A and B are shown apart, each in its own frame.
Chain A
Amino acid sequence: MTMPRTTSDDAGHPSPYRIIGQPLPRFDVVDKVRGATLYAADWRLPGMLVGRILRAIYPSARIRRLSEAKARAFPGVAAVLTAADVPQNARHEDPTGLGLASFATPVLAAERVRYQGEPLALVAAESEVQAQAALEAIEVDYEPLPGVFDVDAALAPQAPRIHEDHDNLLIHWKCQQGDLEEGFRRADVIVERTYRTQRVDHAYLEPEAAVAWVDGDGVVTIRASTQVIEHFREIAEMLRLPHNKVRVIAPFVGGGFGGKEDMTVEPYAALLAWKTGRPVRMAWTRQESLLARPKRHPFTMSYKTGAAKDGRLVAQEIRLMADAGPYPLLSPRVLFAALVAGCGPYRVPNVKIDARAVLTNNVPTSAMRGFGAMQVTFAYESQMDLLADAVGLSALEIRSRNFLRKGDRLPTGEHLETQVALPRVTQEALDALGERAQPSSPSGRVGRGFACNIQPYGRTIWFRDRAHAWIGFEADGSLVIRTGVTDLGSGQAASLAQIASEILGVSMDRIAVHIGDSSLTPLAGGTFATRQLYMSGNAVLKTAQDLRALMVPIAALLLEAAEADVQFADNHVRVVGSPETGLALARVVTECARRGVPTSQLSAFHGGHASPIDLETGQGKTFPDYTFGCHAAEVEVDVETGTVRLRKYVACHDVGRAINPQSVAGQMQGGAVMGAGQALMEDVVLDEGTNLTTLFANYLIPTSLDVPDVRAVVVESGEGKGPFGARGIGEPPNGPPPAAVASAIQDAVGVRLVELPMTPERIFEALRARGEKASERGAGGGGT
């Protein structure tokens, strides 16, 4: 396949690495094409029960009575559990880490239902049929209550409270820099718009699933599709067990995208296994997943942006409002990321940002790829296009005059510590789009647009992030890596093998990677926040370097060479420049063992630390670093139907250093298409809290016919905080598509959509509102 890739070394120097930067095939993909990978729902144990959840049918109600006696008496039923059976039914949550949004979230709702689909009771039975029959036999007497279904209504003085002990404003982050009023006074043009994004489902193809059992040593073990094995602690607290009596195992995950960052099935499967003493499998249906799993936050974003005549931004006022659903989950952190990224990759001297999340009785919302920084991209990039028009500059020129540079300050006052390769990234994206295509029909109008973005990678810095890895040689010179990462399909495990191979010289086929076991693999933190390559990649790099340092003196002794001249490569140690000196690694391992020198190593990588931001001004260090990118799109809009067809698409990001360029490009292509789905079709539709899109037949994600080939352009500036200068790339490609497509639609037919998804109906309406002029306008003009 064609995969353009450019490095910052334009002089054409050969790569200093043997393995890093190679598009090597992934070992997990070999297992996956064989159909050999055992995902969470594929696990089978003798005597295993089927676990199911009874879910609330109302979004807001009081439970007058819940009667499970009849269900308990059904044949084959091993357990029916309600809130009263949960040892510790209040799960403490404080996603800010600062005590700003401290909540006790029930595992099973007891008296109060706060969203449709909220779990009320659990059943374990011998078969699916028996479990279903028992679920239907549980009698629930509801008293429907008035609910709150939009954020403005939730903040009204007389609004019903979602939680009696807390008002409906979940979190309000503030950020202020410079003098906003003075900034706007100096503005020659001011653009003001409100943008809206919708709820989106993660729609991973693997629905949530787990098998739980109590092991012979009494350890409650949950083998689950999850991004985070560290939830074992919360499960232990729920069961009132010591933390070391609960174990979470994460097999390869069938897609996560943030949707398996909060717990899904784990507490329920664990409860049923703990209470019955038997293995329990719980696999949610697609319909359950669409009904009740947390979604991407819908955002309302009011932007007021001022620029000088020359296009320089002088002031920006931003108000972000998100629907959090009834429980905090990760909403406070999502809004925080949105705040930090709110101005996009641009210098704005005078800024005021308010980011709020509001509790409602709608389906919960939490982490999804892009995590708040995604939604704001649609707003800040649309503003840049509008400002370009207002001051008479091209979309590229106005951005070029405002791009952040290394050393510049974000609205939070923190300085960018690594290179910002945006001028180059943007140019490469635009160049890769190639020739403009002709319309395919008389009513077709072709247009082009692009959008740039900034996305943090790594956790908020005051969480003191860290990751551990253990690496050891076997006697035959093969290598074992143990680290508690979860692999969602992005090549997390394979990338770690590639890093270890580079340092220790063991070929990829002789490296075994054990991941995702909270009892047996050193903890490395969850796979979220685009942190895994940055954190566990650095942990593996450091561990491999530490291990190499232990073994180098022995290798030097055997080779009769200086330590500095020893090279680890191709399963051998050698003297640099003397290929004939090769000695099998196994020989070095044997010698180390004979001399009592360790051949394994456990090390940790610490992600740094800073104090929390100032809560009034939002000033302080927030995220470890950022990834920048640009996407360019060509669309054809049918002016008779409002239909948009994506014709060409380019995704370009500076990844610092690509560990495996093929995997990196895959993230860009997949993220672009997921973002295109949000741009054009995806929408979780609620009616007063009732979810109308609980089928894959009406929650539509892109098929192969809805999107074009995506051309990924990998730029390597060489600067990033990950191993070998890598930057995170999991989330960043999800941000730009809606803005790039909106820009292309504007270029094609002259209307600017400010609400997602940009459906044919909305485009048709916008065209009609604009009158006959739109249908008479040809292709071209504006845009790029």
Chain B
Amino acid sequence: MSRELLRVEDLHVWFELDGGGELHAVQGISFQLSEGERMGLVGESGCGKTTSILAMMGLLPPNASVSGKVILDGVDMLEKGEETVAPHRWHDIAMIFQGAMNAFNPVKTVGEQIAEPMLLHGTASGKSVASARVRELLELVGISGSRATRYPHEFSGGMRQRAAIAMALACQPKVLLADEPTTALDVMVQAQILELLVSLTRDLGLTMILVTHDLPVVAQVCDRAAVMYAGRIAEEGPTSTLYHDPRHPYTRMLFAATPDLYGDDAVISIPGAPPRLDRELAGCPFQPRCDSAFEPCPTKEPRERSFDGRHRASCHLNEVPTGATAV
């Protein structure tokens, strides 16, 4: 296994609400990533996926407070807040925002917009250096460099997403956080973008976190995945293990709710909705929707347990002795 590059330790995010009170959006997540690894962060809307990666970038709004560590190459970026994140942001860790492809300024050329952060961050001295780099970046994501002088409306959706990826790569980051990078795209274009992301991690040694609600996308692209629920990681492990040997009912039920092209098994929805995070949670947060809940679940918070092969889950079923398994 290659060397550890990124470690997140006990990350919490709270949002102060307008009407008073707090929303505990991320409730102590921890994970680590090796160099060149691709990890999926999956879960339903509101489970804290996007908030977690925004916290890692130091890009949360002012009403948010954060605790925990985000250690990149041995350095805790969150130690002194903005002061310690700013030098790393975009240079070491970059992000493709959800819907970035639709956020281009329509009256500036795509090339100008990719060059902007480079000039701002001083990674390119002068316009000619920047424009040479822009061409290089466009070629890297599969767009002819000559298209740098075109406007966003002259690009198709897939090309705009490629340009957004090029923009994130402008300062040669080590870690790329991609938030739903293919959600609005057609399957064929999605396949093209996923292929590009995989080849970028392979060729540039980029480490990637792919945030998505789409389990099959993670299954196809990522080595490992963390399944988030109610601001916590319910289960984390190699994607194949999560599918074949899940240790948390939520993981199993999410897979069962997802239709598969060749699957013949019934597709079953998960009843209910995720809990509100503006109040204290008792017991296991998934318990009200779980098909396997038993006595301890409503009151006792499950402990996290590790299994073979970098696999861990937080479920009381894993505490049941005599070889019984959770799912």
Bound pair (A, B): no
Interface residues of A (CB under 8 A from B): none
Measuring CB to CB, which residues of chain B are less than 8 angstroms from any residue of chain A?
none
